[in-house]
Amino acid sequence: MRMKTRFFLLTAAVLLAVACSHKIAEPVSCTVTLDPSNTYFAGEPVRFLMKGHADNILFYSGESGSCYVYKDRHSVPMDWVKSAALSVEYSHEWGVKGGLDVYVSNSFNGLDGRNGAADRVTIQQMIDSGMQGWTRIGYDDNASSKGSATQTIDLSAYKDHFSLAIHWHPAAGATAQRTYKIKGELILDIEGFPAGESFHLTDLEPLVVTMNEQLAPYYKNGGTGSVNFDGEEEITCRGVAADELSYALDAWIITTPSALNKVHGDKGFAIKNLQNYMSGYEYIYSAPGNYTVTFVCIDHNAYGFSQSEQSIDLSIIEKW
């Protein structure tokens, strides 16, 4: 009897191991249809009926910014871009004025990003040439211990090829080396994008290069005298107290050259997750028009991943 029990347990263990090593994901099973009672007037809810099961559902309304076919689109034709501008807010603390210079270029070919010594040479060549190919932007901080300023830079002449360079070189000695905090937003007016498009300065892939031999070429997000990227929005050039360092800090923040025809991929709205049951969904279109609605149904668990997309064409009309 004991032998039979051991045989049974061994067989069960083998079957379980085989089953676990051959997990099969079931294809997601969910269908979406229109409620027959819909009237399709602007300002009134359109109801979608759901059958089957999906762990998660994303909804693309078909409106601008929420079209499934554009979810992977990250640029548009350049002639769609009507204007481009960079809005920058600078804040400073302590130290003496004049420790920050700002430049733009439509001809800079970029830095290596992997060879610090070579990038230092490139920047030194820029300096030795008198910043040829760069235009200095007239930012000037004030002499007060704390302050802030905002400027808007017209980038109409830089849409095809744009780079921004910020040179941080606070004065050292008997006074603190000035700290600067920088927030920037790229603002694009694009044909077919009613709300326009905007990006943080940090989205432009800035590279920090220190020119001080006492620091590593790509020294950032560190302690004394570093350039810190604080989340998505702010860049902090972190100054130091008077006489804390025997040398003056010297760093450049230079964005990767790029065309200014960037857009964010269109987004879907998460309308269902594992926690909620859903047999229907309502959405209100505020404006008449033709829309392609897409539901992305997803099962994603320990057994695997399965996804299906269903699209429905809608015509929304003005209410009489």
Which of 233, 255, 277 represents a domain boundary (last residue)?
Answer: 255
Q: How would residue 303 be classed by pLDDT, with cut points 50, 70 and 90?
A: confident
Residue 225 lies in a domain: yes
Is the confidence at residue 301, as pLDDT, over 80? no
In a shared domain, residues 237 and 288 = no
In a shared domain, residues 218 and 244 = yes
Residue 18 lies in a domain: no
In a shared domain, residues 43 and 63 = yes
In a shared domain, residues 122 and 210 = yes
Q: Which pLDDT score, from 0 to 100, does residue 6 have?
A: 45
Tokens of 88: 């920058």
In a shared domain, residues 53 and 104 = no
In a shared domain, residues 102 and 202 = yes
User: Would the pTM count as exceeding 0.85?
Assistant: no
In a shared domain, residues 56 and 38 = yes
Task: Dump pLDDT digits (tens) for 97-140.
Answer: 999 999 999 999 999 999 999 999 999 999 999 999 999 999 88
Name the one residue in this structure whose structure tokens are 């819909």: 38
In a shared domain, residues 199 and 87 = yes
43 and 319 Cβ atoms separated by less than 8 Å? yes
Q: What is the DSSP letter of 106?
A: S
Is the confidence at residue 12, as pLDDT, over 70? no
291 and 261 Cβ atoms separated by less than 8 Å? no
Is the confidence at residue 27, as pLDDT, over 90? no
Q: Which residues sit opposite 194 in a β-bridge?
A: none
Task: Dump pLDDT digits (tens) for 39-67.
Answer: 999 999 999 999 988 999 999 999 999 99
Residue 237 lies in a domain: yes
Residue 287 lies in a domain: yes
Residue 95 lies in a domain: yes
Q: Which pLDDT score, from 0 to 100, does residue 193 have?
A: 93
- Check which CATH number belongs to the domain holding 298 and give it: 2.60.40.10
Residues 6+ apart with CB under 8 A from 123: 111, 209, 211, 252, 254
283 and 52 Cβ atoms separated by less than 8 Å? no
Q: Which pLDDT score, from 0 to 100, does residue 23 have?
A: 53
Is the confidence at residue 316, as pLDDT, over 90? yes
Q: Which pLDDT score, from 0 to 100, does residue 256 have?
A: 97
Is the confidence at residue 1, as pLDDT, over 50? no
Is the confidence at residue 7, as pLDDT, over 80? no
- Mean pLDDT within 73-88: 97
Tokens of 174: 């008997």
For 277, what's the count of Cα atoms within 13 Å in the CB-facing half-sphere?
3
Residue 109 lies in a domain: yes
In a shared domain, residues 281 and 194 = no
In a shared domain, residues 84 and 178 = yes
In a shared domain, residues 84 and 192 = yes
* Residues of the domain holding 294: 25-72+267-316
Q: What is the DSSP letter of 317?
A: B
Q: Which pLDDT score, from 0 to 100, does residue 210 have?
A: 97
Q: Which pLDDT score, from 0 to 100, does residue 230 have?
A: 81
| Closest of 238, 243, 242, 210 to residue 224, by C-alpha | 238
Q: What's the structural domain count of the chain?
A: 2
In a shared domain, residues 85 and 202 = yes
Is the confidence at residue 10, as pLDDT, over 60? no
Which of 210, 231, 255 represents a domain boundary (last residue)?
Answer: 255
